Chain A
């Protein structure tokens, strides 16, 4: 199977280690990646989607057109890319006037949006296409005995009608939990599982509120399940949960640190990737949990 890898700006520029993880894990499970040469910003929330509907959709449609020309679906690890692209496609398919306006713009660069390719979120994509069983069988290291807190990410849950691989019940998301269980980890429920991490527009406009959200979330995680690791399905959640803890510690709002990884990093790790390559930019200290997963092999 071949898919276009929609990397997304956050992953490419802030967490290239996550990009490396994807480039290791998907091929290891038999998914060939196409770079979709020429891909641009999705564009993300707070930019064009807030001010220019046609411009937003046109930029998204151009990315879709790249994949359509190759007859591929796109896979991303970023919730914002996933949400923005899926929503813009949904809007264009349900509003012929909008689609025509977008295609008039694309015509100037010799492209056309048809709506034949899908944008898919890496975890849900793997859940459907590979399945927990096949993944479990391919592992070199397992997470047995490890407890993880999952953070699927808002944009992979809502609005569910725009996604090709939606959760059965977005209010009680199961995919990421099952996918962690496939690696051997225990991924229990906690009461603020679907809460926002506080990233997105808020982190750049109102730090205080953003940290209040992440603090509430972390408190629920710590008090209710006290995990070894937080696992996200979204690169923005990864960045927020990974970087915010140092600020919260400095302000004496927390006296603990929980390491944070994206699911694709954890999967790559279990499939035998080099930890430095795929987790090297983590701000939280992930080495202890990484060593525990790999045994003492690389110590």
Chain B
């Protein structure tokens, strides 16, 4: 008969405020196998842990249940206490009566108390059947994968590379740089984005420890911390990058046009293009969707011969190419190339997308003079469609009046409930750049709240106001088109308590930061949860801000939520230090929750083999019969095989059939019969 000790935590008022601790403790003492039932104000404090250690040392208990908060943060602490007391640390079970009970049912105290009883009964039932388990260690592959080569991904990759680890840096665009490469200047110091970013891009491109995989996307991720197997698809460029020098001759020769994504669709690029002037790697990409196959030179066909000269008829791009990188005779595979990477840890830094103007019908998105802030960044940038000249799209005239509208898509229940955090500052920055360069321009900002928390930010705001930028507190409700390509902004001025109208030559919408397209799908591939708004979720907001629910996978930058450049870089560097820990240790502890096959019961049917997401199961012949075999090093303990086995031949240690059945019984039929919330 096991001697189970039950320790109930008040968690200050967090649990005791909703759960009648004394009633629960009394009830726990009556459960079968329970030798000791105690409660304490903070079980995780040293005196709290000492209760457990002492009872074990005194021989009172040989199994431990702590009813407290979440195992996510506290299980390791209590396991350590159990081990220090002299027991195997897996002879421990936790009942979460805070997150799943007192917090959730704060206003239903009786029900919360009943639920606490059942959760504890369930944990006790399992505890009685616990078996001692031993930790395993696996060797770590000393390399890392960073997904996304914006400013976050590049810094994460550089830090790891500088520590001496091999880093694979995957970027879906042809060049590294991300959204930051599109910006003109950056707050709060107004340094030119390209000036501070280009050296970083060059470092990333030339670092001996960084393998750049641009124009590539992660296809699948298998394995677990220490040993991830990642399939990456390098999209087809239709240009031989080994030969391409980035001279741009093919680009100049190409007659086909396509909307220029880098300039936010405000001008055209060629079908064969180099993403932007500072691109790293500076290589051309052929966009087959917009290629017009000059001279009937579709990819993978032999050139026709000129009837008079007998020369092969080539397309302008290949004719212009001096190195043979552009050769349309090559039968390129449209699917691109699949490469498999072995890495120990992964950092997801997949960035963000600034919202488009189309969903904001109230702001006349059909007008070319209503633009997004990202479009204005490109207009202000020397590499943009106007080469840095402040011109409005409809007729190229310099606007005399500009109106900015804040919180477009942010803090708006029709779009995103969150604050995008950077808009107030980038709006002020753009307004300031315009006002400083063209002081005669009337610049207005319509806002709900100006949020300029951050080092040197409030000073920046005050400076902008002193420059004469007019800041109007009130949400803009409409933008109407007027004659002469002008626009009328209508808002409610909260300070004047009156509707106000402003005629303007250009309207800039400070659109929200939202998850990059495909981010939730990437999250699924990585096994990381996305929050309600679609950003990748960190393990713990405060304590584990770069870790995720998957060990060995970390997040950085705007993929985790809106943030500015200083914050993105800080988080990236934090993520790289965290991701380096397993690489430095060289081995990681794997919890012993792996599956094992009982060969006596196994019928060799093989149902489990294809189900295993980690390819850990194979079949081998034992005494002339096929039997399943589980590779413990690969098994991640997901339990799919155990659930599927028709012969009940597979046991998932730590979650055995008997243990789970006992938990369910205790939850459903064992408890006192009071109404549970």
Could you list which residues of chain A lie within 8 angstroms of chain B, going by C-beta atoms?
169-172, 189, 191-192, 194, 224
A191 lies within 8 A of B361 (CB): no
Q: Report chain B residues within 8 Å CB of A189.
A: 481
Closest approach, in angstroms, between the C-beta of A178 and any C-beta of chain B? 17
Q: How many residues of chain B are within 8 Å of chain A by beta carbon?
A: 10
Closest approach, in angstroms, between the C-beta of B291 and any C-beta of chain A? 34
Closest approach, in angstroms, between the C-beta of A23 and any C-beta of chain B? 36
User: Contact check: which of A169, A170, A171, A191 meets B488 at CB < 8 Å?
Assistant: A191
Interface: B482 (CB within 8 A): yes
Closest approach, in angstroms, between the C-beta of A218 and any C-beta of chain B? 16
Known: A169-B361, A171-B361, A172-B361. 10 other contacts (CB 8 A): A171-B362, A171-B478, A172-B366, A189-B481, A191-B480, A191-B481, A191-B482, A191-B488, A194-B478, A224-B483
A224 vs B486: C-alpha distance when bound (angstroms): 13
Q: Report chain A residues within 8 Å CB of B481.
A: 189, 191
Question: Restricting to B453-495, which residues have a CB under 8 Å from any CB of A?
Answer: 478, 480-483, 488
Closest approach, in angstroms, between the C-beta of A41 and any C-beta of chain B? 31
Chain B minimum-CB-distance residue to A169: B361
Q: Report chain A residues within 8 Å CB of B478.
A: 171, 194
Closest approach, in angstroms, between the C-beta of A61 and any C-beta of chain B? 28
Closest approach, in angstroms, between the C-beta of A37 and any C-beta of chain B? 41
B361 lies within 8 A of A170 (CB): yes
Question: Restricting to B97-125, which residues have a CB under 8 Å from any CB of A?
Answer: none
Closest approach, in angstroms, between the C-beta of B145 and any C-beta of chain A? 44
Closest approach, in angstroms, between the C-beta of B366 and any C-beta of chain A? 8
Q: Report chain B residues within 8 Å CB of A224.
A: 483
A194 vs B364: C-alpha distance when bound (angstroms): 12
A75 vs B198: C-alpha distance when bound (angstroms): 64
Chain B minimum-CB-distance residue to A194: B478
Closest approach, in angstroms, between the C-beta of B215 and any C-beta of chain A? 37
A192 lies within 8 A of B480 (CB): yes
A194 vs B477: C-alpha distance when bound (angstroms): 12
Chain B minimum-CB-distance residue to A192: B480
Closest approach, in angstroms, between the C-beta of A194 and any C-beta of chain B? 8
Closest approach, in angstroms, between the C-beta of A87 and any C-beta of chain B? 18
Chain A minimum-CB-distance residue to B481: A191
Chain A minimum-CB-distance residue to B486: A191
Q: Report chain B residues within 8 Å CB of A194.
A: 478
A191 vs B483: C-alpha distance when bound (angstroms): 9
Chain B minimum-CB-distance residue to A223: B483
Q: Report chain A residues within 8 Å CB of B364.
A: 171
A169 vs B361: C-alpha distance when bound (angstroms): 7
Q: Report chain A residues within 8 Å CB of B362.
A: 171
Q: Report chain B residues within 8 Å CB of A172.
A: 361, 366
Chain A minimum-CB-distance residue to B361: A171
Closest approach, in angstroms, between the C-beta of B469 and any C-beta of chain A? 26
A54 vs B362: C-alpha distance when bound (angstroms): 32
Q: Report chain A residues within 8 Å CB of B361.
A: 169-172
Closest approach, in angstroms, between the C-beta of B520 and any C-beta of chain A? 25
- Contact sample, A vs B, 16 pairs, CB 8 Å cutoff: A169-B361, A170-B361, A171-B361, A171-B362, A171-B364, A171-B478, A172-B361, A172-B366, A189-B481, A191-B480, A191-B481, A191-B482, A191-B488, A192-B480, A194-B478, A224-B483
Task: Tell me which of B361, B478, B480, B483 has the highest count of chain A C-beta atoms within 10 A of its own C-beta.
Answer: B480
Closest approach, in angstroms, between the C-beta of A45 and any C-beta of chain B? 20
A192 vs B481: C-alpha distance when bound (angstroms): 9
A189 vs B488: C-alpha distance when bound (angstroms): 14
A170 vs B478: C-alpha distance when bound (angstroms): 12
Q: Report chain A residues within 8 Å CB of B480.
A: 191-192
Question: Restricting to B344-367, which residues have a CB under 8 Å from any CB of A?
Answer: 361-362, 364, 366
A172 vs B370: C-alpha distance when bound (angstroms): 15
Q: Report chain B residues within 8 Å CB of A169.
A: 361
Chain B minimum-CB-distance residue to A224: B483
A170 vs B366: C-alpha distance when bound (angstroms): 14
Which 3 A-B pairs give the minimum distances between C-beta atoms? A191-B480, A171-B361, A171-B362
Chain A minimum-CB-distance residue to B501: A216
A169 vs B362: C-alpha distance when bound (angstroms): 9
Chain B minimum-CB-distance residue to A220: B480
A224 vs B364: C-alpha distance when bound (angstroms): 18
Task: Tell me which of A170, A191, A224 has the highest count of chain B C-beta atoms within 10 A of its own C-beta.
Answer: A191
Closest approach, in angstroms, between the C-beta of A228 and any C-beta of chain B? 20
A68 vs B324: C-alpha distance when bound (angstroms): 75
Q: Report chain A residues within 8 Å CB of B482.
A: 191
Closest approach, in angstroms, between the C-beta of B358 and any C-beta of chain A? 11
Closest approach, in angstroms, between the C-beta of B411 and any C-beta of chain A? 20
Chain A minimum-CB-distance residue to B366: A172
Closest approach, in angstroms, between the C-beta of B381 and any C-beta of chain A? 31
Closest approach, in angstroms, between the C-beta of A191 and any C-beta of chain B? 4
A169 vs B360: C-alpha distance when bound (angstroms): 10
Q: Report chain B residues within 8 Å CB of A171.
A: 361-362, 364, 478
A192 vs B501: C-alpha distance when bound (angstroms): 12
A171 vs B481: C-alpha distance when bound (angstroms): 12
A294 vs B481: C-alpha distance when bound (angstroms): 35
Closest approach, in angstroms, between the C-beta of A100 and any C-beta of chain B? 24
Closest approach, in angstroms, between the C-beta of B490 and any C-beta of chain A? 9
Task: Tell me which of A171, A192, A194, A224 has the highest count of chain B C-beta atoms within 10 A of its own C-beta.
Answer: A171
Chain B minimum-CB-distance residue to A172: B361
A170 vs B361: C-alpha distance when bound (angstroms): 8
Closest approach, in angstroms, between the C-beta of A299 and any C-beta of chain B? 37
A228 vs B503: C-alpha distance when bound (angstroms): 27
Question: Restricting to B482-516, which residues have a CB under 8 Å from any CB of A?
Answer: 482-483, 488
Closest approach, in angstroms, between the C-beta of A196 and any C-beta of chain B? 11
A170 vs B481: C-alpha distance when bound (angstroms): 15
A172 vs B361: C-alpha distance when bound (angstroms): 8
Q: Report chain B residues within 8 Å CB of A191.
A: 480-482, 488
Q: Report chain A residues within 8 Å CB of B483.
A: 224
Chain B minimum-CB-distance residue to A190: B480
Closest approach, in angstroms, between the C-beta of B330 and any C-beta of chain A? 47
Q: Report chain B residues within 8 Å CB of A192.
A: 480
A163 vs B144: C-alpha distance when bound (angstroms): 54
Closest approach, in angstroms, between the C-beta of B130 and any C-beta of chain A? 46
Closest approach, in angstroms, between the C-beta of A221 and any C-beta of chain B? 13
Chain B minimum-CB-distance residue to A191: B480
Chain A minimum-CB-distance residue to B480: A191
A191 vs B362: C-alpha distance when bound (angstroms): 12
Closest approach, in angstroms, between the C-beta of B270 and any C-beta of chain A? 34
Closest approach, in angstroms, between the C-beta of B461 and any C-beta of chain A? 32
Closest approach, in angstroms, between the C-beta of A157 and any C-beta of chain B? 11
A264 vs B41: C-alpha distance when bound (angstroms): 75
Closest approach, in angstroms, between the C-beta of B491 and any C-beta of chain A? 15
Chain A minimum-CB-distance residue to B488: A191
Chain B minimum-CB-distance residue to A168: B361
A26 vs B173: C-alpha distance when bound (angstroms): 58
A191 vs B367: C-alpha distance when bound (angstroms): 13
Closest approach, in angstroms, between the C-beta of A276 and any C-beta of chain B? 38
A205 vs B495: C-alpha distance when bound (angstroms): 25
A224 vs B480: C-alpha distance when bound (angstroms): 13
A171 vs B367: C-alpha distance when bound (angstroms): 13
